């Protein structure tokens, strides 16, 4: 590859530079996908941290300054901030610029952003299905998207070259890309991500509130299964508040089914219906095998925790 080869993106503007934004910066830099990478962050501390980590070339306190002259803009702020950041950046967007994002819901993003964008700016909503329970620019890493899926939900009439460019960006950062309808995305993610987080937050809350069991007991005996739930229940509270507020219908739909199924299980326990229990518990094993085979999960027992702990 010639060192003078033109990068895919001339100026990449990341609006928000937390776990995901800073991972995009690192992954884009790893693959030399952008000529320069700039960011916007509301907080001076975060801007300082991003500059110190060397993940961006410049950091701005104003979204308009960050997107000025950018050919690719990626919104990486919480869903609740899209409207405000969108309003502030819109007048500064260059004609032909592509606006994409990493938000966990997609219908709400289209609802919030589409009306704000000037003519000639392309909207290609995106969602990399990847993350950890940690937050902030220091938590990001270049490998976060490797072998993970990024879903794009452009409108049918979106210019193909814009969709292609966002696709190339994510492939360059190590991800697989799937295009789907925004409404379908919101339902798929409601079951594979939003409901799991809701359930995890809920059980950790229930445990904390049990007056017959002390918090110290919950902690000591958490290796029996509970600790698995605490990881995702340690995720960014504002981020997740915004997800639930912005994907209400799909979350309520899958939650209704979850509760219905749980009542059936509850009944099986009450009536000592061992056969129903065993049959469900057998069925669910296959799904994990599928996830491991698809390379979306480690096959190491206990997520490979033992190895992680012994390396400390």
Contact flag: residue 193 with a copy of itself (CB under 8 A): yes
**Under the criterion CB under 8 A, does residue 84 sit at the interface with a copy of itself?**
no
39 binds a copy of itself (CB under 8 A): no
Site string for a copy of itself, 200-219 (x = CB under 8 A): xxxxxxxxxxx-xx-x-xxx
Q: Which whole-number Å values give the CA distances from 273 to 69, 238, 260, 279, in the listed order? A: 65, 41, 17, 10
Nearer to a copy of itself, 110 or 139 (CB): 139
User: What are the tokens at 103?
Assistant: 């938000």
Q: Which residues between 95 and 134 bind a copy of itself (CB under 8 A)?
A: 104, 129-134
Q: Is 294 in the site for a copy of itself (CB under 8 A)?
A: yes
Within a 10 A sphere around the Cβ of 49, how many other Cβ atoms? 18
Exactly one of 30, 143, 155, 179 binds a copy of itself (CB under 8 A); that residue is 143
Question: Is 238 one of the binding residues for a copy of itself (CB under 8 A)?
Answer: yes
- Nearest CB to a copy of itself, comparing residues 3 and 225: 225
Nearer to a copy of itself, 13 or 175 (CB): 175
Applying CB under 8 A, does 312 fall inside the site for a copy of itself? Answer: yes
Distance CA 50, CA 14 (A): 11
Kind of pairing between the strands at 9-15 and 72-75: parallel
H/E element holding 78? none
According to the binding rule CB under 8 A, does residue 94 interact with a copy of itself? no
Instruction: Give the pair of three-digit tokens for residue 144.
Output: 């976060």
CB 200 within 8 A of CB 232: yes
* Interface of this chain with a copy of itself, residues 248 to 267, rule: CB under 8 A: 248, 251-252, 254-255, 257-259, 261-262, 265-266
Kindly state whether residue 235 participates in binding a copy of itself, applying the rule CB under 8 A: yes
Helix-then-strand count for the chain, H and E: 14, 9
Q: How many residues bind a copy of itself (CB under 8 A)?
A: 115
CA dist 152 → 7, 75, 85, 185, 186 (Å)? 22, 14, 21, 9, 12
């Amino acid at each position: 590859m010639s060192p003078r080869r033109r990068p895919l993106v001339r100026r990449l503007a990341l609006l928000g530079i937390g776990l995901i934004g800073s991972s995009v910066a690192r992954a884009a830099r790893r693959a030399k996908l952008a000529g320069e990478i700039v960011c916007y962050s509301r907080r001076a501390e975060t801007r300082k941290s991003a500059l110190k980590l060397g993940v961006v070339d410049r950091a701005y306190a104003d979204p308009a300054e960050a997107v000025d002259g950018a050919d690719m803009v990626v919104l990486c702020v919480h869903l609740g901030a899209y409207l405000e950041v969108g309003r502030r950046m819109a007048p500064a967007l260059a004609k032909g610029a592509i606006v994409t994002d990493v938000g966990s819901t997609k219908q709400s993003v289209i609802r919030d952003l589409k009306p704000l964008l000037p003519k000639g700016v392309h909207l290609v909503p995106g969602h990399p299905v990847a993350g950890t329970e940690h937050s902030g620019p220091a938590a990001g890493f270049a490998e976060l998207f490797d072998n993970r899926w990024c879903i794009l939900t452009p409108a049918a009439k979106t210019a193909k070259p814009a969709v292609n460019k966002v696709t190339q960006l994510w492939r360059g950062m190590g991800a697989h890309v799937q295009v789907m309808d925004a409404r379908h995305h919101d339902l798929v993610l409601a079951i594979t991500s939003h409901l799991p987080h809701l359930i995890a937050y809920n059980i950790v809350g229930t445990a904390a509130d049990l007056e017959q069991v002390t918090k110290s007991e919950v902690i000591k005996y958490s290796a029996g299964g509970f600790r698995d739930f605490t990881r995702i229940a340690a995720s960014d509270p504002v981020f997740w508040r915004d997800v639930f507020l912005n994907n209400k219908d799909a979350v309520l739909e899958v939650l209704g089914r979850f509760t219905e199924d749980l009542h059936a299980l509850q009944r099986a326990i009450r009536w000592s219906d061992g056969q129903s229990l065993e049959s469900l518990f057998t069925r669910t094993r296959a799904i994990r095998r599928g996830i491991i085979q698809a390379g979306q999960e480690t096959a190491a027992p206990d997520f490979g925790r033992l190895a992680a702990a012994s390396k400390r």
